[in-house]
Amino acid sequence: MENWNNAKYCDVANLILGAVLLLSPWLFGFTAESAASTNANIAGIAIAVLAIAALAAFAVWEEWLNLVVGLWTLASPWILGFQGTTAMTVHVVIGAAVAVLAAIELWLMSQNPPRLTTHS
C-alpha cells in the first residue's frame, strides 16, 4: 500500500529529527542555555517515542500528538525566551519539519483511510 510506505518514511524522518533535537545541545553547543537544552531533550524524546510508536502500530492520534509537539518546538523559542540563538534556529527548523511531516501523514490518511476489518 503506497500511503503506508509514505507514512513509514515520514515516521523514520521524525525519528531522525527527534534524535537530532535530543542531541542538538551537544551537536550545536547550546548546553549553557538551560531552557533551550531542557526543551530540546524533552521534545526530542517525545518526537522519537511517537515516531517509534507510529512505526510499531500506526494510529491517527500519534500524528496529532506529533503535530502538537512539532508546533510547540517551533514556538518554544519565543515562549521560553531563547530567541536569536542557535538553539532557536534548531528548534524552529526541526519543529517546522516535524509539524509538516505530521500534517502530511494526516492528509495521507484522510485521502486513503485504513480499512477496518472484523474477524468473525
Residue 13 domain flag: yes
> Is residue 30 pLDDT above 90, yes or no?
no
Residue 62 domain flag: yes
pLDDT of residue 3: 47
Structural domain count of the chain: 1
Asked whether 91 and 66 are in contact (CB, 8 A), the reply is no
Number of CB atoms found within 10 A of residue 47's CB: 30
Name the DSSP class of 68.
H
Most confident of 1-5, 33-37, 91-95, 112-116: 91-95
Residue 117 domain flag: no
**pTM of the predicted structure, to 2 decimals:** 0.83
Residue 120 domain flag: no
Residue 118 domain flag: no
Asked whether 18 and 44 are in contact (CB, 8 A), the reply is yes
**Choice between 90 and 112, residue whose per-residue pLDDT is larger:** 90
Q: Cα separation of 14 and 77, whole Å?
A: 20
Residue 103 domain flag: yes
6: enclosing H helix or E strand? helix 2-27
Residue 119 domain flag: no
**Domain encompassing residue 75:** 2-111
In sign, the C-alpha dihedral spanning 16, 17, 23, 28 is positive
Q: Give the CATH number, domain containing residue 28.
A: 1.20.120
pLDDT in tens, 63-88: 899 999 999 999 999 999 998 889 99
Residue 65 domain flag: yes
